[in-house]
Amino acid sequence: LLAAPTRRAPPWRVVYASTTGVYGDCRGEWVTETRPIDATTDRARRRVDAESRLRAWGRAAGVRVSVLRIPGIYAADRDGGRPQDRVLRGTPVLAAEDDGYTNHIHADDLARACVAALWRGRPQRVVQVCDDTDLKTGDYYDLVADLSGLPRPARVTRAQAGEHFSAAQWSFLNESRRLSNARMKRELRLVLRRPTIREGLAGP
């Protein structure tokens, strides 16, 4: 990845799509880009390494690198990316006392954020790209079900989680954080077209 652009003239700007999983479990606290990273999965550790290498390369090569940390992406035409699909599969959610916060961004707003980062992103800067929704996972999918005319998902306890979730699913559910998008709005000047799941489900 880093060798290819240097074979000829390097690009003037690189935008890298990373993950908010680099923070690990934040126990439901609000998270900004200045929070120390604490990746706990191999997937997130690979992203931490890629971020570090790209930013170091950008500084050395004089290339402006923007790192976008992205949560769950959804869109009506994205394979497996409709929030309703999870409800339709009958996948349960955690009981309220065991539940954690979830974060999302509509694919169209993410695409616009990538373009905005090309033009407005600061050199070697990290920006979280997420919408304004502030809900725990169970409440989020309850709302998805209500807006879509579907039955709400069943609730299970943390002790029952192993019976219902794969290891990959549990790695997401076992982390809780509330992402701030203030830097995205301030520096990229991005106005979300689908600021919450309500608008996201209303559009195509």
140-146 long-range contacts (CB < 8 A, ≥24 apart) are 140/83, 140/102, 140/104, 140/197, 141/83, 141/86, 141/87, 141/93, 142/93, 143/197, 143/198, 144/83, 144/84, 144/86, 144/87, 144/197, 144/201, 145/84, 145/87
pTM summary value? 0.92
119 confidence band (pLDDT: 50, 70, 90): very high
What are phi and psi for residue 123, nearest 5 degrees? -60, 130
Domains along the chain with CATH numbers: 8-190 (3.40.50.720)
14 is written with which tokens? 């690189």
Quote the CA–CA distance of 162 and 174 in Å, as a whole number.
12
Quote the CA–CA distance of 138 and 80 in Å, as a whole number.
19
Tell me the per-residue pLDDT of 19-71, one tens digit each, with 9 for 90 and over: 999 999 999 999 999 999 999 999 999 999 999 999 999 999 999 999 999 99
